[in-house]
Structure 1
Amino acid sequence: MSGALAAGLAGCSYLPFGGGVPYGSVSLPGSEPPRFRQWVPSESAFEPHVDAEQSGRIRYKRPGVGNRSVGRPFRINDTALASDMEHVGIGYTEYDAVVHNGSAIVGLTSVDRESVASALEPTGYERTDTHRGYDRYTRSDKPRALAVGDEAIVAARADGTEPRELAVGRVTTTIDAKAGRVERRHESDDDFRVLTEMTGGRPSVRTSLPLTGLGEPSHSALSHAFDEDNVYVVVDHVYASAADRPDESTVRDALADTFDGPALLLPSEPDAVDIETDGRTLSIRIRQGVESYLERVWAERPPLVTFGVEFDGDRVTFTHEAGEPIPASRLGIRPEYGFDGGDPFEGGGTFEPGDSVTLTLTDDADESYIVSWQSAGETHHSLFEYHLGARDENKTSARR
């Protein structure tokens, strides 16, 4: 079973399927073109702004599509995307689409710039300049940059130990890619071009999630599509050559092991599984009824919140500047050591705009601290992380 795929679907419940794999023809619903790749710069264009930890991991989601297609929320990919977003006065499901290109995140919708400016007013963001028609905002406590256009919000962050210019560069390069002013990844990486033509603009796409036992694809993706009655889960692989692609017998063996595994990463009771190979590509298409599939998917979307942070070398203070109120019982600090006292969120109530918690650090303080949020399924997700850096040198203020 693929550890990569398991990590990508954390927060979703999948049960093992017994009794053999039901192979049969699976015809996928029509798909839009992969327009999300217009927002994905080539690796060379992103240098030196690329986020090395996330490079290559592309996530795309149309937040409202599950509601419209099957009458209820479909939240796969929402957790990963919402965790990287802040409050700008636009609700998550108000976005037509959300794209994370590995270093910056883009929310696509019709934008009221005055409303966004009003939502940013109580935060540490300050309007600094413009770029290709976008109003650009930055802040320094945790280096972040935000650009507001008529049809998109583009945002990026950097670690506390990295310069703010790194976040600005990620936003700028992403905007330049959409404008065609820098090379896009599908224009420089033919394997990525092939992969995104396979996925198209399905409602949910996440790359770099290979299925185990199927060799070493150069690129891979997990995507989802819908019609009124079914959910379609698709695993796409692109290999360096046709010789590197496993044959259908090998794929069937790998799928048999996957479906017999203790914690299944694919639909638990598929109606049909189809394998399609062509040259150096492999596509595994799985169909399952809407009701039986979605009742097992319990992923809960994290709240959209803008946090501020102040650090004076001895104390670090996290402030809820704007966004959704959060039950304090859902919040925590990780790691749970390196500061005086217990959990600062204990005591119940609601953590809402204007509220703060302060950690008085001890000699065994960690290098970074996370404000974490716990879903109803008791999975913890990072809402905000701050790297302390050198405690004697890295003293910051959200209003600096």
Structure 2
Amino acid sequence: MRIVSGWPIVALALAASGVRAQEQAPVREPGAEAGAAPLELELSFEPREARPGDEVLLTARLRGTDGRGRDAAVTVEVDAGDAKGPLRVSQGVYTCRITAPTTLGTRTSMVVVATAAGAAASAALPLRPGPARAIALDVPEGLGADGGRHPIWIAVTDAHGNPVADEPRLAAARGGIGEPVPLGAGRWLAEYRAPRSAWAGEDVLRASAGPASVSRPLPLRAVPAVLTVSPRAGVILGGGGPALALGADAAAWRGAGRLELGVVAAVAWWGIREDGVAWAPRAGLDLRVDRTTIPLTVSLAARAGLGARGTATLALGGGAARVSSRTRVADQPELGEAAWTPAASAALELAFRTRIGAPFAEVRGYWLGDPGLDTVRGAGWPVLLSAGVRLDAY
């Protein structure tokens, strides 16, 4: 019996088992270990901030611990606005288009959250309003041309109605306007001072902020003046006239329905010269008398409108008059004397309002008591015809 060594058989068996082992071992793809290895997820924006409605490109990068890009299913969520994608760009690189919301409210950023194969990352995209596109002016209704101060609220917004922090620049055509004071996001407060005017008119408010601007007409109702002054000049008739007369008055007014009631303090002046002859026993002597009258009166007045700008005023009052006289006979020294006498007056005035005042014509009659002077005796009834302009003092 021949004995054959077993080593060749063992070698053949080992070789056969090795071949089967190679056939059963799986082949690893280059990125197959990604499922088990931890991934890093990085997010970035381009541009780095957005305005309402802007589209921003979000880039997500997946890397393994060895720094090489890895592919995985990526999901992107936003807390406002809209997200489209993501799309694979290259190994481990994905992009997503993010649309910012149009209405911001108090929001200053939007948050983006991305996940991929157990990895997660979040990033905040700063949001800011667009450029100023609209300016709203809120003014109290029924403003009067009274010289008063009134609040104006200003709101500055972008094209989507979001508040804009640009400070408005303000101007008024006739009145005055102060510097705006911030109240909050896109909100401002300014003080408007109306012009004083005794007739209805209109002012124009202008505001601008960034590229936005607005003009708003502002109706102003008529507000009669509280205090007026009225210089005048005219001619005095009667009592030795005609002669030049000057005068002025100051009045305080208050509305009473369709009428204005007032108290008028008036002063007038006129001087009259009389030349004559004083007869002496042997001859006539030249006589010259200079007489000056200054009446001071206080009257109650009522004023009514005539048409759009006309007015008629009736005044009744009384006071006192200073009557002075200077007499010269030939070359003799001048003799002067003066006295106070009671006075009363009645006046009718017609006026027409303009932007620089109210021109008027007036007829005023006086009664002057007897001053009891040597050269002036008896009561007088002079009539003053005058014209002037009434000016609003306040």
Normalising to structure 1: TM-score of the pair? Answer: 0.18
Higher RCO structure, 1 or 2 (CA under 8 Å, sep 6+): 1
Which entry has the higher C-alpha Rg, 1 or 2?
2
- Decide which structure has greater strand share: 2
